[in-house]
Amino acid sequence: MAHQIVATGRSRTGIPTGRLAVWWIIGSEIVIFGGLIATYLLNRFNHGPSWSAEAAHTNTFIGAANTFWLLTSSLFVVFAHAASERKDANKTRMWIWLTIMLGGFFMGFKSYEYATEILHGYTIFTSNFWSFYYLATGLHGFHVLCGMVIMAIIAENDIKNERNWHRVENIGLYWHFVDIVWIFLFPLMYIAK
């Protein structure tokens, strides 16, 4: 579908429009996830013993495996960006799909973890800790899922047709932010017991 591009750059900032928009999205996400993390910390400091006893039930192995998938996927998405700068469509698509695959591993592990916890009776209604746990990890998982869908669209709609190469960098920025959120959620929910 042919469309007229209206504005690709903002002269005041020197940043292309799409990338600038992604920075603003990340800025708003900082307030959302940062607020959640700050509230978690506040509760953890105020209600240390009970929250610590609840955190002891989270599965550190699955949390660590998911950290590994996301860190590796961050590497793959920078490789995709580097390939897009060379206008190498095959390599770009390959790295994007590998990133999506690792996102899939993350979601698979997370689903298994949720299923195990719910079967053991730890649901979103069990206690304040579990409410936070499901809200924070669920919201993060939703972001992972959105990133995977957007990456698949970029790979098959844009890069396959060798257009809109800048979108690889934009989705890469978003994906790195999702990785950073997990970098903070992992010690909070799985390590500090």
Q: Which residues of the chain form contacts with other proteins (CB under 8 A)?
A: 13-15, 20, 23-24, 26-28, 30-31, 34-35, 38-39, 42, 45-47, 49-50, 53-54, 60, 64, 67-68, 71-72, 74-75, 77-79, 82, 85, 120-121, 126-128, 169, 172-173, 176-177, 179-180, 183-184, 186-187, 191-193
Minimum distance from CB of 134 to other proteins (Å)? 17
Tell me which H or E stretch contains 174. helix 166-186
Q: Which is nearer to other proteins, 154 or 188 (CB)?
A: 188
- Helix, strand, coil % (nearest 5) of the chain? 80, 0, 20
Q: What are phi and psi of 143, to 5 degrees?
A: -65, -40
Q: How far is the CB of 130 from other proteins (least distance, A)?
A: 10
- Minimum Å gap between C-beta 80 and other proteins is 11
Nearer to other proteins, 114 or 184 (CB): 184
- Which is nearer to other proteins, 13 or 156 (by Cβ)? 13
Least CB distance to other proteins at residue 1 (A): 26
Cα dist from 128 to 54, 58, 72, 190, whole Å: 9, 14, 32, 16
Q: Give the C-alpha separation, 191 to 86, whole Å.
A: 40
Name which of 44, 159, 35, 51 is nearest 96 in CA terms.
Answer: 159
Q: How far is the CB of 4 from other proteins (least distance, A)?
A: 24
Q: Which two tokens stand for residue 88?
A: 């190498």
